[in-house]
Amino acid sequence: MPIIRFRLNGVETEIDADPDTSLLTVLRGRLSLTGPHFGCGAGECGACNVLIGDHAVTSCDTPLWSVADKDITTIEGLGSEQQPHALQRAFIAEQALQCGYCLSGIMMSAAALLKRNSDPTSADVKAALDRNLCRCGSHNRMVRAILRAAAEMRAS
């Protein structure tokens, strides 16, 4: 098996695995990261979203070979318990979560949006979350939380 190298949450990482293995399988199974969740397995729900560079990508249908030498960020690398990311603080403040299954993927989509647009509108946020499925019904609170995080990030 070839060795695939990438930066995961800022740490140089190498994996000896089948290059066609999904990134999600490696993250959860080999690297024990539980933030990205298996949802549909077809790149349709967003529960497994991670950042590759500055883009939110479904990791369930991303082959390992395609991330060689790239920067990958999971929810575990977005912030920490000691220093939560603005999105994490805002989601807590707005009570924008219920079951949490989709949440890490939604936060990664939101993080990608805020990397490219520091002052999004409500419509921008909704468009950025369009590929994330959530059945809990906290969409309005999620939009408020993302707008709140954007404002906090602009102010700092």
**pLDDT (tens digit, 9 = 90+) per residue, 24-70?**
999 999 999 999 999 999 999 999 999 999 999 999 999 999 999 99
| pTM > 0.85: yes or no | yes
User: Among candidates 31, 23, 34, which has minimal Cα distance to 60?
Assistant: 23
Domains: count for the chain = 2
50 in the same domain as 93: no
Give the H or E element holding residue 148.
helix 139-155
Contacts 24+ apart (CB under 8 A), 14-17: 15/64, 17/64
Longest dimension (CA), the chain: 48
User: Among candidates 98, 131, 105, which has minimal Cα distance to 38?
Assistant: 105
Q: In terms of residue numbers, what domain contains 124? A: 86-155
Pick from 51, 78, 105: which residue ends a domain? 78
pLDDT at 113: 98
17 in the same domain as 72: yes
Q: How much is the average pLDDT of 9-13?
A: 98
108 in the same domain as 45: no
Name the pLDDT band for 99 (thresholds 50, 70, 90). confident
What contacts 30, CB < 8 A, 6 or more positions away?
15, 17
103 in the same domain as 56: no
Name the pLDDT band for 97 (thresholds 50, 70, 90). confident
Q: How much is the average pLDDT of 91-112?
A: 94
64 in the same domain as 23: yes
Give the CATH number, domain containing residue 133. Answer: 1.10.150.120
Q: How much is the average pLDDT of 78-102?
A: 94
